[in-house]
Amino acid sequence: MDLLQKIITLGNSIYKQCEKMKYCQKQCQRLGERVKGLLKPLISLQAQEGSNLEGLTPTLKRFQMVLKESKQLIEKYNTKSNVEKFLKAGQNKILFSDVNRRLSDVWEELSLHLQVQQLGQGTGPSERASWAREDQLDAEEDRQALHMLAEERKLRETSMRQMEKCLKGAMQAFKLLQKHTRAIPRESIKEIKKEELSGREWTPLRQTEISTIYLGQYYNCPVAIKVFNGPQANSVEIVRGEFYKEIKSMKKFDSPNVLRIFGICIDESVATPRFSIVMEYCEFGTLRDLLASKKDLTLTQRIILMRGAARGLNRLHRCEVPVLHGKINSSNFLVAEGFQVKLTGFELSTTQNSISREKERKKYRINSSAYLSPRKLENVFNIYIIKDEIYSFGIVLWEIATGKIPFEGKRNQGWGLLSNSVVSVPGCSYDDVHNRVVQKKDPEPLGKECPFQLQEIINSCRALEPSERPSIQDIIEKLDSFR
């Protein structure tokens, strides 16, 4: 009876192991059920007093050996790597084929001795005859499950590599940001002396009708210097007065995702005073520039750009009295190293108007209809509200997701907004946009490659009804939870 008890104990242990197996679950569970079925007549035999086991001893010993081998195999195949090695090793892809064959032999011998066909409860001849077919089906299901696990692992590894790459870029950007922000004191925006900008020769970056932007140096760090061409200011003191009034309100917009303004420089050593605004230098230029030059951005990189842009706009909207930007589009976001996005296009606007009032008026010729909300397209005189700005931001998110220019398929030569300047870029006529958005209710599609969760975020921003559009804080929370 000691042998019988050892077999029952070992068999129950194997059954529990099979139930807990992580890989090839169907074959393991099937093995456990067969072992449990074979134990039932032995348990009944154990319960009978005075049972004679003399003729069964050889069979029981063989059964014990098979169970020990089963236990060793289960422990061996409890890791995915060993299972995959086995499946790749040979033609026989059934995990426990030899064990199952020997269990079948044990069943035959027990059947002869104990007539288990009356005690087996589910292990009769018809089921036993189908073991081979069951094993084949189980093995196929397990192979499919392993294949899916392998594909998921590949996806995870790819995502991890992308994340590591992005984190590396973010760390580099953080180090660069530390270098810049620590070298340039975090003091209030101020009037900067010309001598403080003479550390290196200025390099022209971009020229427009209104201004020329140079790469210069301030506190030994690279900065962008916007020099106004042919300023129309009536008085240096008027400009200076507007500047000092405006910088008081600029303090509340201090944020890593809002372009930092260091100050204004007024050069009075020349016949016509020269006015400059000194600000952060962003290596990639505008968001529109980046999307045009880098067509192979990963989804992770695009999400990072979206989060940065959202946080920049959030800085304006979360003020005690929300501030509206008024000109949200992909050219009013700048991108620094590490894909750090900086909102621009609103800072020191009064000061800039006082410097170049006559030419600055021309910027209102810009046709930014692609970013206009449906209610503004229906009537341009409708009061601009925060939900209109969320719609414009939804168009920017669409651009980041697709890399395309909105309504590029149907366009006339229009005007685009680039860092407070007028530039000619491919655009879309007002009538085209009005027809698509207001009349046909046919917004630009996102494409199947855009994840559904991200489509929901972008489409909610572009909802026709203003009340259905989320707040910028809601957008940030959804982007932060995006995987």
The per-residue pLDDT for range 12-28, each reduced to its tens digit, is 888 888 877 766 767 77
Is 61 in a helix, a strand, or coil? helix
pLDDT of residue 185: 61
Question: What is the arithmetic mean of pLDDT over 376-403?
Answer: 95
Helices (H), 48-114: 57-76, 80-89, 97-114
Q: Locate the DSSP E strands across 161-293.
A: 190-191, 203-207, 211-218, 221-228, 261-267, 274-280
Q: Domain segments of the chain: what residues?
A: 2-155, 190-480
If you search the block for the tokens 């009349």, which residue do you land on?
439
Cα–Cα distance for residue pair 205/225, rounded to 1 Å: 10
Question: What is the arithmetic mean of pLDDT over 135-145?
Answer: 67
Tell me which architecture the domain covering 2-155 has in CATH.
Answer: Up-down Bundle (1.20)
Over 70: is that where the pLDDT of 347 sits? no
The predicted model scores a pTM of 0.57
Pick the CATH number of 190-480 from 1.10.3720.10, 1.10.10.2120, 1.10.10.60, 1.10.510.10: 1.10.510.10
Per-residue pLDDT tens over the stretch 229-247: 766 556 777 777 777 766 6
pLDDT of residue 28: 79
C-alpha dist (Å) from residue 472 to 252, 387, 461: 18, 10, 9
Question: What is the arithmetic mean of pLDDT over 93-99?
Answer: 73
Question: What is the arithmetic mean of pLDDT over 52-64?
Answer: 76
pLDDT of residue 415: 31
Cα–Cα distance for residue pair 49/158, rounded to 1 Å: 64
**Sequence-ordered list of residues with C-beta below 8 angstroms from that of 218, at least 6 positions apart, any chain:** 184, 192, 196, 197, 199, 262, 278
pLDDT of residue 462: 96
Cα–Cα distance for residue pair 255/343, rounded to 1 Å: 10
pLDDT of residue 359: 42
The type of residue at 399 is E
The type of residue at 62 is R
- What 8-state DSSP symbol labels residue 435? I
Cα–Cα distance for residue pair 108/116, rounded to 1 Å: 9
Question: What is the arithmetic mean of pLDDT over 75-97?
Answer: 64
Per-residue pLDDT tens over the stretch 293-344: 998 999 999 999 999 999 999 999 988 888 898 899 999 999 998 899 999 8
Angle at 427 between CA 309 and CA 457, to 5 degrees: 35
Over 50: is that where the pLDDT of 452 sits? yes
Cα–Cα distance for residue pair 347/259, rounded to 1 Å: 8
The Cβ of residue 206 has, within 10 Å, a number of other Cβ atoms equal to 17
**Sequence-ordered list of residues with C-beta below 8 angstroms from that of 412, at least 6 positions apart, any chain:** 427, 428, 429, 432
2-155 and 190-480 agree in CATH topology? no
pLDDT of residue 303: 94
| Percent of all residues in the chain with a pLDDT value above 90, rounded to a whole number | 23
Closest CA to 261 of 338, 326, 352, 194: 352
Cα–Cα distance for residue pair 241/239, rounded to 1 Å: 5
> pLDDT band for position 420 (50/70/90)?
very low
Residues 53/4, Cβ–Cβ less than 8 Å: yes
The Cβ of residue 59 has, within 10 Å, a number of other Cβ atoms equal to 19
Over 50: is that where the pLDDT of 199 sits? yes
